[in-house]
Amino acid sequence: MVRLCYFRLKKGLSRDELSKTSGVSKGYLAKIEQDKCFFTNPSYIQRIAKGLGVERLKLIPHSGLKKKRHFLDYIIPPDTLGSRIKNLRLKRGLTFKEFTQKLKVSKDSTWRFEKNITIPNEKILKRIAKVLRVSVKKLKGGW
């Protein structure tokens, strides 16, 4: 990822120094800089950004993003129903508690939906879609 390399060099840091300040290994930093992997763990983004002294959103490449994609799509890839629910909830700025209250289901059920442990029935799926302001088709993966 060119952005990481840019900010690291701008700060005058070696990979070794950034590794020590961020707690992320030199090898992993090298892989990220060479686009051999994309770090999806938000804690890594936070730690690297803190080590560089920049906001974490600056590390996420905007020019390479597909049109109409949100940065959360890269942190929580919407590839399962559960991840789509969580991704859309976060995009709408709903806390877990608010979302659970609006759905009128238990916290445990909501947690299971977001973790893709349980698939909601059609009635609940319609409520989820309504709360998230999307169609059921989009929620099921028809982006």
If asked whether residues 81 and 126 sit together in one domain, one would say: yes
Residue 40 has pLDDT above 60, yes or no: no
Q: Residue 63 has which token pair?
A: 């020019």
pLDDT on residue 141: 79
* The overall pTM is greater than 0.75: no
For residue 131, what are the CA distances in angstroms to 36, 88, 100, 111? 38, 10, 10, 16
| Residue 86: inside a domain | yes
| Residue 68: inside a domain | no
Number of domains in the chain: 2
| pLDDT tens column, 93-137 | 889 999 999 999 999 999 999 988 889 999 999 999 999 999 999
3-state SS record for 54-83: CCHHHHCCCCCCCCCCCCHHHHCCCCCHHH
pLDDT on residue 101: 95
Least confident interval from 14-18, 48-52, 74-78: 74-78
pLDDT on residue 36: 67
Range of the domain at 122: 76-140
Helices H / strands E in the chain, number of each: 10, 0
Q: pLDDT above 90 covers what percent of the chain?
A: 29
CATH code of the domain covering residue 93:
1.10.260.40
* Residue-averaged pLDDT of the chain: 81
